[in-house]
Structure 1
């Protein structure tokens, strides 16, 4: 049965769904909101319309107020955006962020709303299949960031489809913030510049040994081997990533220099690396595990060996949990903190921090280009992973782009070194990169 033909008798005849939305909105509504009961709110001539098409969508909104309920309704197709593309709902996210403020209802208003909506709408429907278990259920099943749990979390996000990622990320298969040398740079140029900036900060030289933890599809490993003559080893918990990387290494004729292993970084046995890169890895390991993480990396460097940590950060260092949508649909068990905490933990692990750089606006540009790729390859992406998963990715990337633009999240590269016993760090007097 079509979503639009479901029952329209789920709320009382004199209680209009859109009126609730309008009553709880402060500062005016920049979008048109229309509900299946025939009610509407917001300007009739708005370029973008949100349409709630059935009772299930209302139940999602009522039983999980906020980003989780909206995401469930949107991913399921129960909340439809008109005037945009599901692969890039950026304008919707931007307008909601700019103009719409929802106030909390008073106790009496809440009772009236619940009575008007009807008791049937207080029962939550099953969540979309793309949704991961809630955090409390995962905690009941075991501690976060064990080898098994980390492998499951990485599998949830990264083992979707290499073909899908190729459509979205482009030929580089780089799923981390790019560095745009100028505003006209393409995504591929910017991803190459990111890898090269990391290489320059690490001062890679021919014959050196590099460990890339959380190496993804092997972009840094390939770049270091090809451009710098470095013997590079990458490790990833994703089997699909490791398989792709091996094929790319073989195709490039770099098997004598580059290697990617399907392995937890904690199982790397070699030591005395000249350099270690950690690009988009720290978000997955858990803040409480920073001491052991940075301690492990420090112990695997030779004296004067360098570590470059590249990761998403918060705009402050206060404890905070990841939003429900990101935690359930995108990065289960993911955690963020500020660059101050990153630097502190690196220093406490015995690393001398030499440089920190915030490139958050580059991530907004990266997400813009990923969204564009998703739109351009929408039919192929839907065929590969399904319409629900494709909607998740469009929503996630557009929302994150707004977050980076508004300085709610940042991206820091922090460069450290294992200083020798005599205090030597191997750096020139001024930065060389």
Structure 2
């Protein structure tokens, strides 16, 4: 039995992609601009061991399965018959594959690619969400290579959802607009002290210092991020106002800040730690201070527990957890924050990810030279898949603004003016 026959039986003869295999067989739409290529029998080992998204990811990352054409387009077309339902092979189909490539080869178990961070590799890294383990898993993702992130993220080096003032805005314009939206929601003004937790490469810290004259401190668990940010702060001559430290936000002294921004940190906290997280940020604020929490969320609070062994957790964000916006807002409220504003920016994250995907494709050879083929493939697959996730409302992005009351005075204007008119 040829592999093309197996493909057609599994996904149907009307699959909107082309299929080609190492045995010379082909199937699917011959005019499709997307071709799925099975390069070696190892790809089938991965699919037999883990049908569906995980097996496909392992085969693609390791290079035993390839994809010709645009990754986002391929995932969008494949999502209905692969990622939603999973590949399911009958005993007859399995026997046909085994006969074609040899039973011993087919049933042979293959180790996952080294880019996969499984639970067994985390057991020696401390208790889940302990300071030690959080530091290690953050480094797993963010200490890939500053040069690689420059290729993907562009000059802003902002690895969080941008906010597009118009559909035609560039990525850099949208990232500037995001930082300025956060600044306006916080009501930043000269002389204030801002704490930016999970500050990345210091984009918000620099924006607050440069545009508003704020004395800003950013903290990150990534040593490479901190080093890059300190160098950029020095290059811009902002060292008197902006600072980035390699440290855990939990170690920052309490009661010292007028404003706190948290842009893309909450996803790494873990649900059981969310109350302690917001309590920590509450205590770091002076009375009358504001917190802007910006993070990826789930559409609802009552969804099943977050899948901790999925592709994203194994390859991109170990120990990552997403919560519903209602849950986060409730915990903020119960901590003592007065909630003043919240909004969902999920469409903006789809646009952001599209721009990052375009950057990676444009700089593909340089990216591979910097981090290797397998890691670059992880990023191509993960970012394209996330575009679909935000477009299809599988995930969302919420900004929630809270005030630490000073008595009964919120310090908020009667009507906010967060968004300036678009020229």
TM-score range, shorter chain: over 0.9
CA deviations on 1:75-119 (whole Å, 9 max, x unpaired) are 1111111233xxxx111111112566775788xx63333333235
Q: Does 2:108 correspond to 1:123?
A: yes
Distance (Å, rounded) in 2 between the aligned partners of 1:111 and 1:330: 34
Q: Does 2:409 correspond to 1:424?
A: yes
Aligned with 1:111 (options 85, 91, 107): 91
Distance (Å, rounded) in 2 between the aligned partners of 1:168 and 1:103: 31
Distance (Å, rounded) in 1 between the aligned partners of 2:329 and 2:119: 28
- Aligned 1:29-428 pairs, distance under 5 A: 29-84=15-70, 89-97=71-79, 110-116=90-96, 117=98, 118-132=103-117, 134-135=118-119, 138-139=122-123, 142-317=126-301, 318=303, 319-322=305-308, 324-420=310-406, 422-428=407-413
Q: CA deviation at 1:124?
A: 2.4
What's the TM-score, normalizing by structure 1? 0.91
Deviating above 4 A after TM superposition, structure 1's stretches of 4 or more consecutive aligned residues are: 98-106
The two structures, once aligned, show a CA RMSD in angstroms of: 1.9
Check whether the contact 1:27–1:99 (CA below 8 A) recurs between aligned residues.
no
Unaligned runs of 5+ in 2: 419-423
Distance (Å, rounded) in 2 between the aligned partners of 1:50 and 1:229: 53
Partner of 2:211, secondary structure, is helix
Check whether the contact 1:28–1:100 (CA below 8 A) recurs between aligned residues.
no
Aligned in 2, Cα 1:288/1:239: closer, same or farther, shift over 3 Å? same
Distance (Å, rounded) in 2 between the aligned partners of 1:379 and 1:101: 28
CA deviations on 1:178-220 (whole Å, 9 max, x unpaired) are 0010011111110000000000000011101100000000000
2:421 is aligned to none
Aligned in 2, Cα 1:27/1:269: closer, same or farther, shift over 3 Å? farther
Distance (Å, rounded) in 2 between the aligned partners of 1:40 and 1:377: 31
Q: CA deviation at 1:161?
A: 0.7
Name the structure, 1 or 2, with higher relative contact order (CA <8 Å, separation 6+). Answer: 1
Aligned in 2, Cα 1:371/1:183: closer, same or farther, shift over 3 Å? same
Distance (Å, rounded) in 2 between the aligned partners of 1:181 and 1:266: 34
Aligned in 2, Cα 1:392/1:417: closer, same or farther, shift over 3 Å? same
Distance (Å, rounded) in 2 between the aligned partners of 1:170 and 1:232: 23
Aligned in 2, Cα 1:101/1:248: closer, same or farther, shift over 3 Å? closer
Q: CA deviation at 1:66?
A: 1.5
What's the TM-score, normalizing by structure 2? 0.93
Aligned in 2, Cα 1:321/1:136: closer, same or farther, shift over 3 Å? farther
Distance (Å, rounded) in 1 between the aligned partners of 2:386 and 2:156: 21
